[in-house]
Chains A and B, each alone.
Chain A
Amino acid sequence: MCLSIPSKVIEIDKDNVATVDTMGVKRKVTLDLMDEEVKIGDYVLIHVGFAMGKISEEEAKQSIALYNEIVEQMQSGQIDDEEGNMNYA
């Protein structure tokens, strides 16, 4: 039942209804459940026609940057030290 894909807000009308873009598919969702301000360009999570939370782009970027770092370290063999320890917070 849950759509996990982040949708980008591309328009907000006066009835508190936003048009969002989910991987190229446009749809209208209500912002009635949002407890923080939503702006054009924000990413939101959608559930059955409602925006229910914002996606923090900053946090998403940090995770992806971290994954890239892990891949690089694995490729350069750094992670293969005795303990298998690495700085992964």
Chain B
Amino acid sequence: MPKVDLIEGFRDPCHMKALAEIIAKECHKKINIMEVCGGHTHTIMKFGLMQILPKNIEFVHGPGCPVCIMPKERIDHAIALASMPNTILATLGDMIRVPGSKTSLQKLRAEGKDIRSLYSPLDVLKIAKENPDKNVVFFAIGFETTTPMTAVLIKDAVEHKIKNLFFHINHVTVPEPIDVIMQGGDAHIDAFLGPSHVSVITGYKIYEPLAQKYKTPIVVSGFEPTDVMESVLKIVRQINEGRSEVENEYKRAVTQDGNVKAQELISTYMEQRSHFRWRGIGDIPKSALKIKDEYGFLDAEIVFKDFLPTQEIDDHKMCICGDILKGKAKPFDCKVFGKACTPTNPMGSCMVSSEGACSAYYKYGSLLEKGAKA
């Protein structure tokens, strides 16, 4: 049996070129495709897919970056928690860099607070065990992909009666913001590229109501460049044939029902919040999770309520992230893009993490200007 390379096979330039030619031949009108997930934004930019695709395919960068959508008041929560005496705050990735209303976790850490950036949420169990005399707060972020990992931690904390571990839950869900973006009827979006890893957990069935309600094709796509190209072709064909269905391009990892064990873990320990404020979009009903009341003794928002600020804080009024998310504007349309607003000094949500649209344009912008579409 010939060895098939599971990575290179999906990055082969010949494959990409061939798919691009078929798409160019079949695509007869302008199609705006929203890629919901920041991972796709990354693939599209890094592999220069906008340059090899025909001009009438446009990508709109969606709300799928968990760091970018975190409103400042939640970051202020993290900062308040980390400032409590005798406390260790742990979180993932870029979260540390993002400024709240006054400071960032990174700055606070430089001032001597114990703030840890983890590779894996599992490390938080170790930290709690090694520091029995301290409160350890896990500031949990992420979409459906990361939620089950937090559920595993909560399960461990409950089963092993870990007394000094608490959770500040900021887990959000994909379908609700898409619904809000489409609701006004003024979004310029014809189709969606469905997230890869969220769908591994949830299954592709969660997109069916959206595809029907808004008559837009949704193609669940893998992260590799040929995955994205093939998904674009599937979208073009659906539009040409007047179909609006959920299709699964990422068959090697995604099923209709997803990872049921992970879903059960989540529903054992967490439930829907009535609403959650999204940076750049606003308040969205039922778009996030919280710890179930019966496990409230682990919920940092309940246990440390008195430490947490309650004021809601919006982005600067120059920021047009909301319009960018709706496909009505591009980062270049923002007056402060690359000037007052940069990745080291972000003014708005889409500049804060490397997965955000403004930040991706900042990094790869020169490539785009040179591209065929400039």
Residues of B within 8 A of A43 (CB): 6
A33 to B120, CA, bound (A): 14
Residues of B within 8 A of A55 (CB): 6, 252-253
Cβ of A30 within 8 Å of any chain B Cβ, yes or no, is yes
Residues of A within 8 A of B118 (CB): 48
Q: Which residue of A lies closest to B26 (CB)?
A: A84
Residues of A within 8 A of B200 (CB): 45, 52-53
Contact of A64 among B4, B92, B142, B145 (CB under 8 A): B4
What number of A-B contacts does a CB cutoff of 8 Å give?
131
A66 to B105, CA, bound (A): 48
B10–A63 touching, CB < 8 Å: yes
Which residues in chain A, 2-28, are within 8 Å of chain B measured between CB atoms? 2, 4-6, 23
A2 to B233, CA, bound (A): 24
Q: Which residue of A lies closest to B149 (CB)?
A: A50
Contact with A along B174-206 (1 / 0, CB 8 A): 000000000000000000000011001100000
Closest beta carbon of chain A to B253's beta carbon, Å: 5
A68 to B177, CA, bound (A): 38
A52–B122 touching, CB < 8 Å: no
Which residues in chain B, 1-36, are within 8 Å of chain A measured between CB atoms? 4, 6-7, 9-10, 12, 14-15, 18-19, 21-22, 25-26
Contact with B along A25-61 (1 / 0, CB 8 A): 0000010111100000001010111101111110111
A84 to B252, CA, bound (A): 28
Cβ of B152 within 8 Å of any chain A Cβ, yes or no, is yes
B145–A49 touching, CB < 8 Å: no
Cβ of B343 within 8 Å of any chain A Cβ, yes or no, is no
A35–B149 touching, CB < 8 Å: no
A86 to B156, CA, bound (A): 53
Cβ of B224 within 8 Å of any chain A Cβ, yes or no, is yes
Residues of A within 8 A of B19 (CB): 67, 70
Contact with A along B69-112 (1 / 0, CB 8 A): 00000000000000000000000110000000000000000000
A57 to B2, CA, bound (A): 13
A56 to B252, CA, bound (A): 5
A74 to B18, CA, bound (A): 7
A2-B145, A23-B7, A52-B148 given; A71·B15 CB < 8 A? yes
Cβ of B260 within 8 Å of any chain A Cβ, yes or no, is yes
Identify 23 residue pairs between A and B in the complex whose beta-carbon atoms are under 8 Å apart, listed by A's number: A1-B38, A2-B197, A4-B196, A4-B197, A6-B6, A23-B7, A48-B92, A49-B120, A50-B148, A50-B152, A52-B145, A52-B259, A53-B201, A54-B253, A56-B253, A60-B4, A63-B251, A63-B252, A67-B9, A67-B12, A67-B15, A70-B15, A84-B22
